[in-house]
Every structure is written in structure tokens, then in C-alpha cells.
Structure 1
Amino acid sequence: MKRIYLFCDNGMSTSLLATRMQKVADQHNLQVEIKAFSDKEMPMIVEEYNPEVILLGPQVKHIYNKVNERYGNDRPVLVIDPKDYGEVNGERVLKVALKAYKERKQ
């Protein structure tokens, strides 16, 4: 099962998006686990669960370089598009995450 984990300031604002993404994944019978967390939990979560994709909420895009430097060799690290984030477009964000995962695997 692939893990796609979203991180933002508190994990609260991304939780609705993660729920919508999981619903889309379930509707398409995709074997993925999508969860949201606070960026402060990232080191512990990444070490323990080793997600295949890390998504950052637009409000924490300032940590992208640091996160990508630390974790980007092993997995895609992406900042969620602000428009998709604002519209809580779970389908679009899931497609972007899965595309990045597939491209990395090739």
C-alpha cells in the first residue's frame, strides 16, 4: 500500500483534503493511505511510516527546500497547488501525487 502524507502547520487544514483524496482513491480501488499531519511531526512520521509521497500545504511551502533536501532522494516532495488546495480538489491533488510517484519509480 502506498502512503501519501500531507503536512501543514497543524495538520488541520490538510485533513479535509486528505479525506477527499482518500475517498477518490477508495472509489477507484487504489491501494493508498492518505493522511494529514503537522509539519512538526514530519521527522517522526517519515521515519516510522516511510511515505512514498510527501505533500506540503501551500502555507508551509517555505520549508520545501529543507524537506526536499532531507527526504527528496527517496520520494517525491511536492507543494500542493494553492488553487487545488483552496478548492479542496482531492481528485486533482491525488492525480498529481500519483503521477510524481510513478515518474520517480521509472
Structure 2
Amino acid sequence: MKVLLVCAGGMSTSILMKKMEKYAADQGIDFSVSATGINNAAEASTGADCILMGPQVSYQKANVERVVGGIPVGVIPPADYGIGNCPNIFKHIDSLLASA
């Protein structure tokens, strides 16, 4: 599965990305993740199975959905984002993929 993280600046999202990669490896999940800023979401979404947005850019969700054309988009809950709660984040990914 390929996930794109969309955020404002990238610092906290890069930390989360590393946690997600480690969690997926530990769980044996075939997983790749990349991150981009909100302004590059359309270009960076090529090949993504789903897009997760940081809570700080959740107000842009409708715009991202519009520009990525049919790729499921979700917002990571602030509490999960803040502590890097990978089990909950992966449950969120699974629900996005199931609804696609």
C-alpha cells in the first residue's frame, strides 16, 4: 500500500512518516509512505492508494479531494497525529481503503 501524507510544512509529518515505516515493517505490512506540502498534493498523489492529511490542514480536505481525483482522503485525528499512534492511523488507512 502506498500512502501520501499531506501537511503544512513537513517537520512533524516526517517524524510520523518514520514511525509509520517502522510500525509497518514490524507488523509485516507491505507499505510505502511519502510526504508533501498541501500545495503539491495533486502532483505527489500519483500512484497513492490513499492520502492522509495532518490535522493542521484539515480545512483543505475538500480542495485536496477535488485535485486528486478519486483517491480516498482522510484527516489524521489530532491525538493520533500528535503521539504518532500508528495502530490507530493504520486502522484509519484500512477504513479509507475499504470505502474506496
Q: Match for residue 5 of structure 1?
A: 4
Q: How many residues align?
A: 100
Q: Which runs of 5+ in 1 are unaligned?
A: none
Show structure 1 runs of 4+ deviating over 2 A: none
Aligned to 1:86: 82
Shift of 1:40: 2.1
Q: Report the equivalent of 1:64.
A: 61
For residues 24-50 of structure 1, the C-alpha deviation after alignment (integer angstroms, 9 at most, x for no partner) is 11112111101222222212212xx32
> Is 1:102–2:98 an aligned residue pair?
yes
Amino acid at match of 2:81: Y
- Alpha-carbon distance in structure 2 between the residues aligned to 1:19 and 1:91: 14
Quote the Cα distance in structure 2 between the aligned partners of 1:25 and 1:103.
21
Does the CA-based 8 Å contact 1:6-1:35 persist in structure 2? yes
Aligned to 2:42: 43
TM-score (norm. length: structure 2): 0.88
Structure 1 Cα separation of the partners of residues 37 and 47 of structure 2: 16
Give the unaligned 5+ runs of structure 2.
Answer: none
TM-score for the superposition, normalised by structure 1: 0.84
Identity of aligned residues (%): 29
Alignment partner of 2:35: what SS? Answer: strand
How much is the aligned-residue C-alpha RMSD, in angstroms? 1.5
